[in-house]
Amino acid sequence: MTTEPRSGRPRASSREVLSEAACELFLEQGYDATSVSDITRRAGVSRSSFFNYFSAKSDVLWSGFDEQADAGIALLREGTPVADALSAIGRGLAPDALALAITNADAMGIAAELDRDRAVRQFRLQREVASRLAHDGATPLAAQVRAGALSAAVLAAVWAWADRTAGGRSLADTLAEALSAV
Amino acid sequence: MTTEPRSGRPRASSREVLSEAACELFLEQGYDATSVSDITRRAGVSRSSFFNYFSAKSDVLWSGFDEQADAGIALLREGTPVADALSAIGRGLAPDALALAITNADAMGIAAELDRDRAVRQFRLQREVASRLAHDGATPLAAQVRAGALSAAVLAAVWAWADRTAGGRSLADTLAEALSAV
DNA sequence: CCGCCTTGTTGGATTGCGTCTAACAATACA
DNA sequence: TGTATTGTTAGACGCAATCCAACAAGGCGG
């Protein structure tokens, strides 16, 4: 996806490696008790490097989702129908650190943090969707409301999928159902 | 509202005083450039005291809204109809630090912070409303979606009201319109 | 083989939030 | 005049996040 550079020093780590190290530690010690230094120490890089990969400690769980959200938002801005763009977010999503954090939120002591970050992601989607709906002629207020429903549907579907206490339906199906509920 | 204690040292400040000091400084220097120490210095109390009044720097803008949200959530839990409980949030809201921050977001350099905090408040409402809707028999997914629309309506109405570039309609009217759009 | 460019890593310093604790101050009340 | 209660304060602490200058490691053209 992102173009590979032709020269320069090769990376000593990756988002995936750091993400896995972080998840292990979160399960062992909890989120709060795990410092960024802990994560980088286990991953074998320096603390400074962490912020070359993520912009914040909490982002370590969300980089997969954020990539898909970025793609979906790009589609939105290009004019793709709203429902299609939002479905695309779910299509590209794989079980990763986020899904693991959702199912093990209690063990990680991460519920509050997860709520906060989920809220931020949902609102980001809402803003983009509302902008699109308003551009398509909706009242500003109505656009916000409808966008609120749509973005809530996306995040709720992700949660239902990750935290599959009930039979493991696919994310695409769950997302389709959630969007159709709008 | 909250019962006054009969004994003990009287408070040396108040949320309002701190909130006003903070707003002044945010307008003068911007949000990021204003430290908690700056706020308490202007308000004439020590830095330690700040956290007796607010649990975080950003809460200095939201205490008015949070009070109303708490009241609305309490109504929700008591069984008040959802639309009534949400309308009540708007009924008790006065033009305060939050409204000022919304209209002067650029001058304060506070847009990102405001987005974050708005997202958190909206999601808190969404959770409570969804819980109520699910309790009333809705599918979990459908409850989340509808709650997403309703909570988005509340926050959108507050924004439209605070940022009254258009004719100054009352918050109650704006909120009623937003809720009816669901 | 040698400089050069580019990208990435590293350590160290800095700032400020948020937490905590122990000591102290001011009030009501018995 | 004590005593309980409530609030204030200074100080220290841990940690997230930013910034910077120095260094490392690759490709590439001479």
Taking the CA of residue B175 and the nearest CA in chain A, the distance in Å comes to 9
d(CA B15, CA B24): 14
Mean pLDDT of chain A: 94
B130: how many CB neighbours lie within 10 A of its CB? 24
Cβ pair A122:B148 closer than 8 A: yes
Q: Once rounded to an integer, what is the mean pLDDT over residues B158-180?
A: 86
Nearest CB neighbour to A145, from listed B120, B126, B181: B181
State the pLDDT at residue B4. Answer: 64
Residues 124-143 (B) with a CB less than 8 A from some CB of A: 124, 126-127, 139-142
- Of all residues in chain A, the one with the smallest CA distance to B113 is A120
Taking the CA of residue A161 and the nearest CA in chain B, the distance in Å comes to 11
State the pLDDT at residue B7. Answer: 84
Q: Would you call B160 an interface residue with chain A, using a CB distance cutoff of 8 Å?
A: yes
Per the document, the length of chain A is 182
Cβ pair B144:A126 closer than 8 A: no
Question: Is pLDDT above 80 for B166?
Answer: no
Taking the CA of residue B82 and the nearest CA in chain A, the distance in Å comes to 16
State the pLDDT at residue A53. Answer: 98
Give me A1's structure tokens: 């996806």
In chain A, what percentage of residues exceed pLDDT 70?
95
Question: Is pLDDT above 60 for B1?
Answer: no
Q: Once rounded to an integer, what is the mean pLDDT over residues A134-152?
A: 97
Per-position DSSP letters for A113-178, written without gaps between them: HHHHHHHHHHHHHHHHHHHHHHHTT--HHHHHHHHHHHHHHHHHHHHHHHT--S----HHHHHHHH
State the pLDDT at residue B54. Answer: 98
Give the least confident one: A36-45, A157-166, B12-21.
Answer: A157-166
Question: Is pLDDT above 70 for A129?
Answer: yes
d(CA A110, CA A106): 7
Question: Is pLDDT above 60 for A29?
Answer: yes
Give me A143's structure tokens: 């656009």
Strand C contact nucleotides, protein CB < 7 Å: 5-12, 15-21, 25-29
Question: Is pLDDT above 60 for B68?
Answer: yes
d(CA B156, CA A127): 11
DSSP state of B8: S
Cβ pair A153:B160 closer than 8 A: no
Question: To 5 degrees, how large is the angle CA B60–CA B86–CA A145?
Answer: 90
State the pLDDT at residue A166. Answer: 63
d(CA A156, CA B128): 14
Note the CA–C1' distance, A40 to D4, in angstroms: 50
Question: Is pLDDT above 90 for A120?
Answer: yes
Whole-model pTM? 0.94
